[in-house]
């Protein structure tokens, strides 16, 4: 658990101080996953490094700061002759003397950390043979092996595909619950953060951070203010489409086939209305079919092709 009192964060070049955040009273509770969001360049990494004790605060103080804070950074690991096990074992370095001898119980901690991220089968692989997603899991295992109450992660899902992003975030959330850790994730991936975070810290752009549970911040419009969405409606979670064709379509159906058909029509510039001359019905049991003006269509692309001719 970490909390801050009137924390002022930034960096110094020469004698001038550049303040990125000021007057922060933050609280990182145990057992929760907190997503720290803000636009690029707002100072997410700087705050993370300050919380980790790598940068001195410009003013204020951090309570509960240990010298040994588990960090996952965006820094690229260039060492190639290093195995997954070796990289995870760095987590135990704070507890070693200069001889770097791991005791049996330390080896058990390292192996347990590897099991937590389910990479047992890869533990003797070289890290340069791993995918980006696997490497990120290794870095999380390293942070777990560090056995700190707090883990800070900077953009852990950057450069990952959707599947790996979800895996990483779900893992972090379950770790925060199971091991009662405070986990702070700096990210700018809104959709994922909204769905996984217990709490959001939102950098509002005026050197302040607004905190709350994600749904509250959506509904009170804080997210809209900060991100100034351009064509994205946060409350429905969808990209706005302009009905540029000026053609109304009436759609009947249920479930996912209905939703995806609606999505395809709106994306193609049709206005899906309550009542219209053009009527489309979605049939979906084992196989989805579309009926329009007496004809049956096997795919949406066929349906749209015919619709465009009208």
Partner 1 sequence: MVRANYWKKGLMLAVGLTLLFIADVTLGSISIPISSVLSGLFSQSTSNFSEIIWQFRMPKAITCLLAGAALATGGLLMQTLFRNALAGPDVLGLSSGASLMVAVVLMVGQSSLGVLAAVASHPWSQVIAASFGGMLVFTIMVTLSRFVQDNTALLIIGLMISAATSSLVAMLQFVSRSEDLQSYIIWSMGSVGSTNWQEVRVLGFAVILGIGIAYSQIKSLNALLLGESYARSLGIKIARSRLWIVISTSVLAGAVTAFCGPIAFVGLAVPHLVRLAVPTSNHKILLPLAAMGGASMLLFCDLLAHLPNRTQVLPINVITSLIGAPLVIWMIMRNKKVSV
Query: Site residues for partner 1, window 94-123 (CB under 8 A)?
Result: 94, 96-100
* 54: contact with partner 1 by CB under 8 A: yes
Q: How far is the CB of 70 from partner 1 (least distance, A)?
A: 7
Query: Of 82, 130, 272, 304, which lies in the binding site for partner 1, with binding defined by CB under 8 A?
Result: 82
Determine how many CB atoms are found less than 10 A away from the CB of residue 57.
20
The answer to whether 183 and 172 have CB atoms below 8 angstroms apart is yes
The residue behind tokens 């937590």 is: 116
Is residue 52 within the footprint of partner 1 (CB under 8 A)?
yes
How far apart (Å, rounded) are the C-alpha atoms in residues 200 and 241? Answer: 28
**Nearest of 72, 84, 176 to residue 127 by alpha carbon:** 84
The residue among 98 and 310 lying less far from partner 1, judged by its C-beta, is 98
Stretches 36-44, 48-56, 129-137, 174-182: which one binds partner 1 (CB under 8 A)?
A: 48-56
Range in contact with partner 1 (rule: CB under 8 A) among 79-87, 252-260, 282-290, 292-300:
79-87
Length of the chain as a residue count: 310
In 146-254 the beta strands, taken as DSSP E runs, fall at 150-154, 182-187, 199-203, 209-212, 232-233, 238-239, 248-252
Going along the chain, which residue ranges are E strands? 2-13, 16-24, 27-28, 33-37, 59-63, 70-72, 150-154, 182-187, 199-203, 209-212, 232-233, 238-239, 248-252, 271-273, 278-284, 288-292, 295-297
Question: Which residue number, 77 or 130, has a Cβ lying nearer to partner 1?
Answer: 77
Stretch that binds partner 1, among 62-70, 129-137, 189-197, 246-254 (CB under 8 A): 62-70
Of residues 154 and 189, the one with the C-beta less far from partner 1: 154
Given the complex with partner 1, which of 71 and 265 has the nearer CB atom? 71
Asked if 251 touches partner 1 (CB under 8 A), the answer is: no
* Nearer to partner 1 (CB atom), residue 13 or residue 286: 13
Return residues touching partner 1 (CB under 8 A): 49, 52-54, 67-71, 73, 75-83, 86-87, 90-91, 93-94, 96-100, 124, 126, 146
């Amino acid at each position: 658990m970490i909390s801050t009192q009137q924390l002022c964060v930034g960096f110094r070049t020469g004698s001038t101080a550049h303040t990125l955040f000021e007057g922060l009273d933050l609280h990182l509770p145990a057992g929760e996953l907190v997503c720290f969001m803000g636009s690029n360049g707002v100072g997410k990494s700087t705050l993370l490094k300050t919380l980790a004790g790598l940068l001195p605060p410009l003013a204020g103080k951090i309570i509960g700061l240990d010298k040994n804070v588990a960090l996952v950074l965006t820094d690229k690991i260039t060492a190639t002759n290093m195995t997954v096990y070796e990289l995870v074992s760095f987590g135990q370095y704070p507890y070693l003397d200069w001889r770097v001898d791991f005791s049996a119980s330390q080896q058990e901690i390292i192996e347990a950390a590897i099991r937590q991220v389910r990479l047992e089968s890869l533990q003797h692989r070289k890290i340069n043979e791993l995918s980006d997603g696997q490497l990120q899991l290794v870095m999380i295992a390293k942070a777990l092996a560090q056995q700190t109450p707090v883990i800070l992660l900077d953009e852990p899902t950057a450069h990952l595909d959707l599947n790996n992003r979800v895996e990483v975030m779900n893992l972090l959330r379950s770790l925060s619950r199971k091991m009662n850790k405070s986990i702070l994730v700096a990210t700018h991936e809104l959709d994922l953060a909204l769905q996984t975070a217990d709490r959001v810290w939102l950098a509002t752009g005026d050197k302040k951070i607004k905190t709350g549970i994600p749904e509250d911040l959506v509904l009170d419009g804080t997210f809209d203010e900060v991100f100034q969405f351009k064509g994205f409606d946060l409350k429905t979670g969808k990209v706005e489409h302009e009905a540029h064709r000026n053609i109304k379509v009436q759609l009947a159906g249920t479930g996912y086939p209905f939703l995806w058909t609606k999505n395809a029509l709106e994306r193609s510039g049709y206005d899906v209305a309550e009542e219209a001359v053009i009527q489309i019905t979605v049939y979906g049991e084992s196989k989805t079919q579309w009926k329009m003006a007496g004809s049956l269509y096997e795919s949406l692309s066929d349906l749209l092709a015919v619709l465009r001719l009208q």
